[in-house]
Amino acid sequence: MTPEDWLAFRFDCGAAWLNFLATRGRTFSPNPVERLATPDRLAAWLRQCDLSPASPPDRDDLRRAWEVREMLRALALAAVEERPPPPAAVADLIAFLAGHDDPVQLIAGDRLGREPPATTARALARIARQAVDQLTGSDRSALRSCPERDCRGVFIDPPGRRRWCPSPACASRGRVRALRARRDGTTLGPTDPAAANPRRRSGPAGSGPGAA
Ligand SMILES: [Zn+2]
Which tens digits make up the pLDDT trace of 192-207? 444 444 454 433 333 3
Average pLDDT score, the chain = 88
- Give residue 164 CA to ligand 1 midpoint distance, Å: 6
Average pLDDT of the residues in 149-172: 92
The total number of residues shown for the chain amounts to 212
The pLDDT value given to residue 168: 87
Rounded mean pLDDT, 31-53:
97
Lowest mean per-residue pLDDT among 10-14, 131-135, 143-147, 173-177: 173-177
pLDDT of residue 206: 33
Distance 17 CA to ligand 1 centre (A): 16
CA of 177 to the centre of ligand 1 (A): 14
CA of 153 to the centre of ligand 1 (A): 5
pLDDT of residue 193: 44
Decide if pLDDT at 16 tops 80.
yes
Instruction: Find, among 166, 180, 179, 177, the residue nearest to 210 by Cα.
Output: 166
Residue 184 pLDDT > 90? no
Comparing 185 with 60, the larger pLDDT belongs to 60
Cα of 155 vs centre of ligand 1, distance in Å, is 9
In the structure, ligand 1 is a single-atom ion and the residues with CB under 5 Å from it are 146, 148, 151, 153, 165, 167, 170
The answer, yes or no, to whether residue 138 has pLDDT greater than 70, is yes
> pLDDT: is 204 or 27 the higher one?
27
What pLDDT does 141 receive? 94
Instruction: Quote the ligand 1 centre to 165 CA distance (angstroms).
Output: 4
Q: Confidence class of residue 12 from pLDDT cuts 50, 70 and 90?
A: very high
User: CATH homologous superfamily of domain 3-156?
Assistant: Jann2411-like domain (1.10.3300.10)
**How many angstroms does the Cα of residue 18 sit away from the middle of ligand 1?**
12
Read off the pLDDT band of 188 (50, 70, 90): low
> Per the confidence metrics, is the pTM higher than 0.75?
yes
What residues does each domain of the chain span? 3-156, 168-211
Find the 89 Cα to ligand 1 centroid distance in Å: 23
pLDDT in tens, 60-118: 999 999 999 999 999 999 999 999 999 999 999 999 999 999 999 999 999 999 999 99
